[in-house]
Amino acid sequence: MPIDLRPHAIAVGGDAVARDADGRVVFVAGALPGDHVQVEVTEERKAFARADLVAVLAAGPDRVEPGCPHVRVGCGGCGWQHVEHGAQRRLKRGLVTEVLERQGKVVDPVVLDGPDLPPNGARTTLRGLVVGSRFAYRRRRSHDPVTVADCPIAHPLIDELVVEGRFGDATEVTLRASARTGERLVVVTPDASGVRVPAGVEVVGIDELQKGHRAWFHEEVAGRRWRVSATSFFQARPDGADALVAAVRDAVERLAPDAERLVDLCSGVGLFAGTVGAGRRVVAVERHRPAVVDARHNLADLDVRLIRASIGSWRPSAADVVVADPARTGLGKEGVAAVAATGADACVLVSCDPASLGRDAGLLAAAGYRHAGSTVIDLFPHTPHVEVVSGFVRPEGGAGRG
């Protein structure tokens, strides 16, 4: 039975937060603070419930009509196309502030906006399903596919592959491109048989990669050229990677201006080791073998020692500052213990999930590090995904506010 609600906040993950007539918290997919909505409860727990939006009875000030027709028929690629662009940035900043206060126990955290990146035509990596040889996203909150004729958020080099690509009998596909070199790479699962794409696009099957075949493309970010293998992580837009490098560099220079020794944890293909670490002695730690091979190529001209290891198995090296860019799960106890074991007086943490940031902030505080400001880099407009660069400093060894 539908019920009427008036959401008042946004939760991590992008759902709106409301309370029903009994005071129970209800998370509503597709709603926004300030809306008056009718919803259908889909899941009930003792402490909360989840609901889907049935109708918007009165739109709040941040709601707009989605610009993409595929969103209107259920495409799950962009969960926030119904949110005005400026409001997206404000809501993300509020989320980060809230988790730092609630989970990290940070009093009056300083949280700033990064540069305003264009919301459309910028994404250089898309992952999706294949249906009838065509690219498809998953439907919102479902594994069911939604075939799309084009994709407004994609860079034109990627959108051409969405429109013209035919991916044979593959079940999944990853489309990758360099906005600055023009190179393109298509990775298909399980194999590349029957794939047809525009001339000049490299195609590789997961089966080939598993047999040791190498495939990569190059991107240019922060004045350097980066080789990125088919399965190596790299930020999905070069202007966003530029912004991340700038924010990390600013935090390092602010919190550890005299740092000579830098540890780069979860270093990937070497983005921060090769930019922020330039002119310093760097130890870079990464567990993914193809990324380590890429980093060895990308950092050959710099004073960098590469170590292939997980954070938990790495024997910490002494450092003046640590830069860490972990996966969505964050540093956790092992990662924070490794940071502390380096003896570094400053840590710059790149987080891609607000909940893990809040937890890591609390763990770092317990290890003696004080929050010294965060910058939200909106790498994924039209989605609730949040990327944050945060500084942490030991009070006796650095400066900052937070």
d(CA 118, CA 260): 36
Could you tell me if 119 and 149 are in contact, meaning their C-beta atoms sit under 8 angstroms apart?
Answer: no
77 part of a folded domain? no
d(CA 125, CA 131): 19
Instruction: Answer yes or no: do 272 and 340 share one domain.
Output: yes
Check residue 376 and give its pLDDT: 98
pTM above 0.85, yes or no: yes
d(CA 197, CA 160): 9
398 part of a folded domain? no
Could you tell me if 358 and 336 are in contact, meaning their C-beta atoms sit under 8 angstroms apart?
Answer: no
Name residue 211's amino acid.
Answer: K
Check residue 402 and give its pLDDT: 37
- Inter-CA distances, 101 with 96, 269, 386, Å: 9, 33, 17
Active site residues: 352
Instruction: Answer yes or no: do 311 and 373 share one domain.
Output: yes
123 secondary structure, DSSP code: B
Instruction: Answer yes or no: do 20 and 145 share one domain.
Output: no
**Number of separate domains in the chain:** 3
Instruction: Answer yes or no: do 261 and 321 share one domain.
Output: yes
d(CA 223, CA 54): 49
Check residue 401 and give its pLDDT: 35
Check residue 143 and give its pLDDT: 86
Mean pLDDT, 10 residues at a time, over the chain (402 residues)? 93 94 93 96 92 95 93 89 96 97 96 96 97 93 89 97 96 98 98 96 97 97 98 97 98 97 98 97 98 98 97 96 97 97 98 96 98 97 96 71 36
Instruction: Answer yes or no: do 347 and 297 share one domain.
Output: yes
Check residue 121 and give its pLDDT: 96
Three-state secondary structure call for residue 297: helix
Three-state secondary structure call for residue 94: helix
